[in-house]
Every structure is written in C-alpha cells, then in structure tokens.
Structure 1
Amino acid sequence: METILTINNLTKKFGYLTAVKDLSFTINKGNVYGILGPNGSGKSTTLGIVLNVVNKTSGDFSWFEGQTTTHDALKKVGAIIENPNFYPYMSAYQNLKLVCRIKGVDYSKIDEKLEIVGLLDRKNSKFSNFSLGMKQRLAIASALLNDPEILILDEPTNGLDPQGIHQIRSLIKQIASEGTTILLASHLLDEVEKVCSHVVVLRKGEKLYSGRVDEMISSHGFFELKSVQHETLISFLQNNPDFISVKEEGELITAFLNEPMDASTFNKLMFEKGITLSHLVMRKESLEEQFLKLTDNN
C-alpha cells in the first residue's frame, strides 16, 4: 500500500509547554484519517508541522515515502487549516481564478470543482453573500483545484448548523470515494465515527490509539444488569475471567466482556448459578465510550 505521510517521534515545544510529544503514525493512500482529541491536544500543531507552517522541535516526517522534498510534496497536497480567506466583494469564480494563478492551475478546473462542492449555480455570487457552510465548501473547492493526492482539513464543520455539517460530511465521503486520501482534525467523536476509516487519538500531545475506527469499537460489548441478589452477582462477575471490568451505578451493573458471549448464554449461566436477573441488556461500546476509556486516568 502506498504511503503518503510518515510521522516519526514528532515533538513540538512552545517554551515549557509540550504541544506534541513523541508522535508517530502513518497515512496510507485511499483512506480517511481522523486526528481526534479535545481542544489543546496537539491536532492543529501536528497539521501545521507537516504543512511547513510550524517548525518542529524534534523528530521528523516525510511525504510520499521520502521520494520528494517537502516543498515539492506540498504541491500534491490540498489543505484548509484556517478560516476560509477570500475577497468578500468578489464572486466565487473570481476568487478561485486568483487561487488558480497562485497554484499555476488552468481556469478550466474551476467549474469542475464548484460542481463537486455543489456551488456551480452560485459561481457568480459574491463571497460575502455566502452562508458559513457555503464558504467552507468554496474553501474545499479551492483546496481541490490542484487535484491533490491528499486533502487536509482542520475542524471542517466548526461553527456550522446541522444542515451545513451534513453537507460537509457528505462531501468528504464523496471526495474520498473518488480516491483522494483525507486527513482531518476533529474534536467531535461523532464526526470521526461517521466519516473516518482510521483514527489517531491524541491527548495533551500524546498518542493514545492509532488504527482502524472499526477495530477501536470492535470490543465484545457489555451487559447492563439488575438483580435482587446484587452483591452475589457482583462477586460472580468480578471473579469471572469472561469479564474485563465491572461498574456499579446504584442498582445498575455494567459488565464489560473479555470474550464473546451472547445474552441467552449469560442468562442460562445465571440461572445455573441460582442468580435471577430482573434486567439484562447487551450493548456494543460506541466510539465515545472507547474514547472515554482511553482518555481516563491519563
């Protein structure tokens, strides 16, 4: 599989503050990667470093398996890491003409990219008349003008209303389905779960997890339980290797599975042990629960 970006032991310090600490991960062609973490976790700093707008303190990164300089590699990258910056009194088309001149791209690309982002019918409208979602889509059209191999987006749905969020997420999926690799930074678990195939979880600049989203949430799930024999049930669960951990919240017991087990098998086991259940529900962990588990005690 072709590697687009490799990051090795990357560290960035701002005085006494370590924004990124010993970070390593790889981006392969054809996937949608999310860098997930709360504000201040080092997402934007990491993107800034690989885009050559922030100087690293130590470690290194390489584009396209080190076959090219960073300067030349960035000609194959499309990025939006700040608020869209266009001339308000000019039309969408006129603004993109300026970008074409800067990037050395033919004007014929403009209509093609405006169609992708659903703004072709507004090509002659002034930027100042665009909604926030339309401005963000125009920025994506701008980033796509040079037909990049990878599109980098920093918090692409920030500040948008639900309709705008839906449009941007659908657009990201559409662009990815046509073969463009995407790297996006987000503090929204929902965004990463719905859009990304891979995720890098950061907290205070450190990597907590890197891998496929579906593998992160492919735990064996958990049972929600209630029984009048509360203490007996707790004791059984805590001493059973089939369960990785047990939580109590009032009468509700949550038992996290270490091995696959369905509800009927567990119910039969309880019956054999003489424990009567008044409540038994099996659930799968969401990305949010996995994320909270990862970031807990760190």
Structure 2
Amino acid sequence: METILTITNLNKIYNKQVHAVKNLSLEIHKGNVYGILGPNGSGKSTTLGIVLNVVNKTSGEYSWFGGTTQTHDALKRVGAIIERPNFYPYMTAKENLELVCKIKGINYSKVAEKLEIVGLTERMDSKFSTFSLGMKQRLAIASALLNDPEILILDEPTNGLDPQGIHQIRDIIRLIASQGTTILLASHLLDEVEKVCTHVLVLRKGEMLYSGTVDGMTNKKGFFELKSGNLETLKSALENHQDIEKIVEANGDGRLLVYLKNNLEAEDLNSYLFQNNIVLQHLVKRKHSLEEQFLELTNNH
C-alpha cells in the first residue's frame, strides 16, 4: 500500500503554553478516505496547516509520498481547501477557475471537467456573487481538483451548509474517492465521517486516541437484542455464557440487551439458546454507532 503522507512525533506549541498538537504520528495510504475526527480545538486544522506548509511545526517530522519529494514540489500533487473559498465575486465560475489554471500553469480544459464533477456545469457562466454557500463550497472543491491531485484535503467541508448542501458535498466526496483520489477530511461531525470515510483518526487536545478503519471502531464486539417467552430462563442461560459481559432489560418491553466481552455471532448464540430449550421471538445483533464509540473514547481520556 503506497504511503502518501507520514507524520512522526509532530508537535505544535503556541505561545509556549498551548500544546495544540502532541507527539502525533500517523500514516495516510493511497486510495482511502480518512476522517480526522475531534471536537473544536482538538488540533485537526493545525495538523493540516503544518503538512500544507502554512503553519510552522514546533518539532517532529512529516514527509509526502514516501519522502522522495521536497514539500514544495509534493504540494503540487495535493489539492486542499482549508479556508473559506476566496474567489472574485464579479467573475463567473468558469472565469474564476480559468484564473486558477493560469496561476498554476494548468490546461483550461480541466475547468469543464471539474465543474461537471461538482455539478456546476449549468452555472459555469453565473457570477460567483450569485452562488449559495453550498455552490461556493462546490466551486472550491472544483478548484482544488484542477491539478488532478493524488490527495484531496478538506477542512470541515460542510460547515454552515443546509441539509441539501451537506448531502451534495458528501456525494461529491464519494464520487471523487471512487475515481481513486485519496481524501483526508477534518470534521467534528460524526455522521459525516461515518457516511463517507473508510478510516478514522480521533484527536482530542492534540493527541491521537484512535487510528484505524471506521468499521473497526464501530464493530467492537457489538450487542444483541433478544426476546423470548420466558425472560427469566433466557436470562439465566445467558448468564452462563462465557462471551457475555452483561445483560440489561430494555425499558420494560420484554427485550434484553446483551453486551459482549468477546465477539459472538448471532447464529452461534441462537444455536446455544436452542440447545438450552429456549426459542427466541426476536434476535438482532447491533453494532455501536461511531458516536457511542467516539464519546466513550473522548470521555475516558
């Protein structure tokens, strides 16, 4: 798996007292969609600013594309939006993107191609000043894609958008990812990360609390919802099972919530109970949501 970005023991201290990034180490691999998740002030934007060469690090190292390229040249292979889009209001979407092409030495043919990806082809001749916030953000993504970057970095891409605007940006991120572009997305919205990312990095006060797949974070053991004609018999059979940690009665509707200490498949649990002469009326295996896992992580540190 090709490594696009490596960060090793990165630190950023502001005014000798605010430790914004603490000894952070991570790797970003080609072809994945990474969500950097954390509350405001967790160090997400500072970390992105450092690797994009707009914030000075205090100590530590980072390298792009396996360290084979100097940062200045490497950033030509990166697309990024880390601030509000900054275009000329009196110019059209097409003219604004052509200006970016001119500055960066990119062929104008890319303009129509990228406007198509973000769904703005029909508005290419409209002035930027007439655009909604969501359209402005989509134009910014088109601009960041003009150089066909190998990785696209987005800092809070849906901030301030209405539900429709959020949905459109998510669809665009999925489309870009499906075309093979690696994406690094900073967000404080758990729902956003769960819906579009393959991997998640959880930061709190500049420290890494979790790094791995979204599935790996949400699938941790999980829990069962069970219901049977005889609740007490069901309960006592479950208490004797080695993989079960605790049993909780759910709000008086006859369901039991069964939490696990080891992974257990629904088929195996059903078979075990059947051998104990218990027939289930209801059996569902649920996984913890990203939100539950995130809160557990950040509250325990």
Task: Give the TM-score normalised by structure 1.
Answer: 0.88
Following TM superposition, by how much is the alpha carbon of 1:11 offset from its aligned partner in structure 2, in angstroms? 1.2
Question: Structure 1: which 4+ aligned runs deviate by more than 3 Å?
Answer: 224-230, 244-255, 265-272, 276-282
Matching of residue 89 in structure 1 with residue 95 in structure 2:
no
1:259 matched residue in structure 2? 263
Question: CA separation in 2, counterparts of 1:134 and 1:8?
Answer: 37
SS at match of 2:264: coil
The one-letter code sitting in structure 1 at the alignment partner of 2:14 is: F
The one-letter code sitting in structure 1 at the alignment partner of 2:106 is: V
2:289 matched residue in structure 1? 286
Task: Say if 1:109 and 1:261 are closer, same or farther in 2 by CA, change over 3 A.
Answer: closer
Please list the CA deviations of residues 233-271 of structure 1 after superposition, one character each: whole Å capped at 9, or x if unmatched.
59x75x864134566887686432123142534655886
The one-letter code sitting in structure 1 at the alignment partner of 2:78 is: V
SS at match of 1:142: helix
Question: CA separation in 2, counterparts of 1:266 and 1:207?
Answer: 40
Following TM superposition, by how much is the alpha carbon of 1:80 offset from its aligned partner in structure 2, in angstroms? 0.2
Matching of residue 116 in structure 1 with residue 117 in structure 2:
yes
Following TM superposition, by how much is the alpha carbon of 1:208 offset from its aligned partner in structure 2, in angstroms? 1.1
1:63 matched residue in structure 2? 64
Matching of residue 80 in structure 1 with residue 86 in structure 2:
no
Task: Give the TM-score normalised by structure 2.
Answer: 0.87
Question: CA separation in 2, counterparts of 1:36 and 1:267?
Answer: 40
Question: CA separation in 1, counterparts of 2:218 and 2:113?
Answer: 37
The one-letter code sitting in structure 2 at the alignment partner of 1:139 is: A
Question: CA separation in 2, counterparts of 1:43 and 1:54?
Answer: 12
2:165 matched residue in structure 1? 164
Question: CA separation in 2, counterparts of 1:107 and 1:255?
Answer: 59
The one-letter code sitting in structure 1 at the alignment partner of 2:159 is: N
Question: CA separation in 2, counterparts of 1:169 and 1:55?
Answer: 31
Question: CA separation in 1, counterparts of 2:13 and 2:257?
Answer: 41
Matching of residue 186 in structure 1 with residue 182 in structure 2:
no
Question: CA separation in 1, counterparts of 2:104 and 2:14?
Answer: 32
1:217 matched residue in structure 2? 218
103-112 or 76-85, which deviates more: 103-112
Following TM superposition, by how much is the alpha carbon of 1:151 offset from its aligned partner in structure 2, in angstroms? 0.5
**1:97-116 equivalences in 2 (<5 Å):** 97-116=98-117
Task: Say if 1:217 and 1:98 are closer, same or farther in 2 by CA, change over 3 A.
Answer: same
> Equivalent pairs: percent with the same residue?
68
Following TM superposition, by how much is the alpha carbon of 1:293 offset from its aligned partner in structure 2, in angstroms? 2.1
Task: Say if 1:162 and 1:205 are closer, same or farther in 2 by CA, change over 3 A.
Answer: same
1:7 matched residue in structure 2? 7
The one-letter code sitting in structure 2 at the alignment partner of 1:9 is: N
Q: Is the 8 A contact 1:76 1:147 kept in 2?
A: yes
Task: Say if 1:271 and 1:205 are closer, same or farther in 2 by CA, change over 3 A.
Answer: farther
Q: Is the 8 A contact 1:34 1:186 kept in 2?
A: yes
Question: CA separation in 1, counterparts of 2:65 and 2:91?
Answer: 36
Question: CA separation in 2, counterparts of 1:228 and 1:198?
Answer: 40
**1:240-259 equivalences in 2 (<5 Å):** 241-244=242-245, 254-257=257-260, 258-259=262-263
Please list the CA deviations of residues 69-102 of structure 1 after superposition, one character each: whole Å capped at 9, or x if unmatched.
1011001110000111111111111111221122
SS at match of 1:46: helix
The one-letter code sitting in structure 1 at the alignment partner of 2:87 is: F
60-69 or 34-43, which deviates more: 34-43
The one-letter code sitting in structure 1 at the alignment partner of 2:172 is: L
Q: Structure 2 stretches of 5 or more lacking a match?
A: none
49-58 or 11-20, which deviates more: 11-20
Question: CA separation in 2, counterparts of 1:133 and 1:139?
Answer: 10
Please list the CA deviations of residues 180-219 of structure 1 after superposition, one character each: whole Å capped at 9, or x if unmatched.
1111101111111111111111111111111111222222
145-154 or 93-102, which deviates more: 93-102
Question: CA separation in 2, counterparts of 1:177 and 1:26?
Answer: 21
The one-letter code sitting in structure 2 at the alignment partner of 1:259 is: N
What RMSD, in angstroms, separates the aligned Cα atoms of the two structures? 2.6
1:34 matched residue in structure 2? 35
